[in-house]
Amino acid sequence: MSKSLDDIDLKILSEIQADGRITNVELAKRVGISPPPCLRRVRSLEEDGYIRGYRGLLDPSLLGFDVTVFASVHLSSQADADLRAFEDFVRGEPLVRGCWMLSGDVDFILKCVAPDMATFQTFVSRLTAAPHVRNVRTSLVLHDSKNAPDVPLELKVPQG
């Protein structure tokens, strides 16, 4: 069961989500409390799993990863062992940056990033040959209209 989040907790989460490199002193100032209790709250939010980690957001195209593709994967079997085997396969594939199991006609959707189409096609050959993969449909991303990695905390009402 998750703990109750008050308004200050939500402000802390919002500020950290906007800037993971914010100092504790600046964070405390922005949320309206002194640094020691702010640090205690941040540590508590980390321990409770609300903050899963900190990372930098990189620009894929500046790093030479110009191809983004979503791959819809339909498996021939939905047995637990087969689902786990597919997830294990995906975890070992560096081009796969996100994997979600879905309900409905598609079993998984993968977000893939590659430096070029030839590299992506090589991956698709491995993907289609993976155990229990019935078929794969790919959709090339033409334009990024919105790619927000954050949680919409503005919709969250304090529980405390």
Same domain, 40 and 67: no
Place of tokens 């954050």: 150
- Please state the pTM of the whole predicted model: 0.86
Tell me if 153 is assigned to some domain: no
159 lies in some domain: no
The mean pLDDT of 60-65, rounded to a whole number, is 96
Cα gap 91→97, rounded to integer Å:
9
Q: Left if phi > 0, otherwise alpha if psi is -120 to 50, otherwise beta: which for 97?
A: alpha
82 and 113 in a single domain? The answer is: yes
Are 20 and 82 part of one and the same domain?
no
**Cβ atoms 136, 89 nearer than 8 A:** no
Output the domain CATH number for residue 40: 1.10.10.10
Inform me whether the pLDDT recorded for 1 exceeds 60: no
Instruction: Lowest mean pLDDT of 3-7, 9-13, 65-69, 83-87, name the range.
Output: 3-7
R_g of the chain computed on alpha carbons: 20
Q: Say what percent of the chain tops pLDDT 90.
A: 90
Range of the domain at 69: 61-140
Residues 59-94 as b/e (b if ≥16 CB within 10 A, e otherwise) read ebeeeebebbbebbbebeeeeeeebebbeebbeeee
- Number of domains observed in the structure of the chain: 2
**For 65-108, what is each residue's pLDDT tens digit?**
999 999 999 999 999 999 999 999 999 999 999 999 999 999 99
The most distant pair of C-alpha atoms in the chain lies apart, rounded to whole Å, by 57
Please state the rounded mean pLDDT for residues 14-21: 96
Q: In terms of domains, do 82 and 130 share one?
A: yes
Residue 37 reports pLDDT greater than 90: yes
Q: What's 130's domain CATH number?
A: 3.30.70.920
- Rounded to whole angstroms, how far apart are CA atoms 27 and 21? 10
* Averaged pLDDT for residues 45-71: 96
